[in-house]
Amino acid sequence: MNIRQNRRDFLKSGLILACAPFTGALAHPKPFLKAKPVLSAHLWVYASKYPPDWNCAPILDQVFTEIKAAGYDGLELMNILLEADDSVDRISALIKKHKLPVTGCSYSADMWKKDKHDQILANATKIIDRLHQLGGKNFGVSVGDARRIKTSEELDAQAALLKKLIPYCASKGILLNMHNHTYEVVNELHDLKGTLERVPELKLGPDLNWLIRGGIDPVGFIKTYHRQIVYMHLRDQKASGKWAEALGEGITDFKSIAATLKQLGYRGDAAVELAFDEPATRPVAQSWKLSRTYVARVFGW
């Protein structure tokens, strides 16, 4: 064997050895990810005051002000806020003004309706493009509530659309995750399991409170699906079943949830989502701060 061939073989073997740690990183990414989750605030509590389309654009400056003051790492939007043609310019100005990034956006559509796919795909890609322009990285998708158990054909339909949206998000540097309400997890996780059977690569962004309301233990869910969980929503509720005004004021066992996440080495992201089904006893800005302090104490984020 000549010297030139030896050199090629040496370089080839050296390249393989050098790449080996990164190959492992692709299969097991946790050691190479950030030290702790980015903690955002989802703005539903503001949007809930603007039925029926939940467009809280008129008070978005207040939203940024209060979330920034409470110490969150970023803000999670709802897709209605990215529908207007000037939305990117307006929200970019608020990001710059408040030095608070937009980290993601939630999105809901009846993806189980095959005849709506062209319309949903056109709208979703528009929202994804605008989220990308704002620097957002998480896209939390809800596939729509049929208000009954979906058929195999309907599960096929929503899976087919997800398979188009996942790579489109990836092409923009955005990670699509499945954001559940109760309808995905009732009936022994019928909807969610049906989707995962058809889209095994799907990442999850569970809302832990909706899991509880759907009769699912969040700790058990995390243990079962932790390899696919990249995002989660945190919200608390009281013994009465009504939502607490701030995290830590209800009966949700966040200490066990936090311990489980720590044990499993969770390195995804999270968002606090406040919601009121009773009149608030204090300004929402204060509840944001109380919740942020609670997460820091219990989760260490």
- Rounded (5°) CA angle 290-230-151: 110
Q: Are residues 24 and 155 in the same domain?
A: no
| Cis-peptide, bond into residue 52, ω within 30° of zero | yes
Q: Are residues 1 and 50 in the same domain?
A: no
Q: Are residues 180 and 287 in the same domain?
A: yes
Q: Are 236 and 250 in contact (CB under 8 A)?
A: yes
Q: Are residues 44 and 26 in the same domain?
A: no
The string of pLDDT tens digits covering residues 265-296 is 999 999 999 999 999 999 999 999 999 999 99
Binned at pLDDT 50, 70 and 90, residue 35 comes out as confident
Handedness of CA 155, 136, 39, 23 (dihedral sign): positive
Q: At 218, list the tokens.
A: 């969040």
| Residue 55 CA: distances (Å) to CA of 43, 177, 260, 267 | 11, 22, 36, 31
The string of pLDDT tens digits covering residues 159-214 is 999 999 999 999 999 999 999 999 999 999 999 999 999 999 999 999 999 999 99
Number of domains into which the chain is organized: 2
Q: At 270, list the tokens.
A: 């999270």
Instruction: Identify the CATH number of the domain in which residue 118 sits.
Output: 3.20.20.150
Q: Are residues 171 and 252 in the same domain?
A: yes
Q: Are residues 12 and 62 in the same domain?
A: no
Q: Are residues 21 and 157 in the same domain?
A: no
Handedness of CA 255, 205, 282, 244 (dihedral sign): negative
Q: Are residues 14 and 132 in the same domain?
A: no
Q: Are residues 12 and 127 in the same domain?
A: no
pTM of the entire structure? Answer: 0.88
The string of pLDDT tens digits covering residues 227-264 is 999 999 999 999 999 999 999 999 999 999 999 999 99
Residues 6+ apart with CB under 8 A from 225: 204, 206
Q: Are residues 25 and 115 in the same domain?
A: no
Q: Are residues 171 and 183 in the same domain?
A: yes
* Domain region containing 15: 1-30
Q: Are residues 13 and 152 in the same domain?
A: no
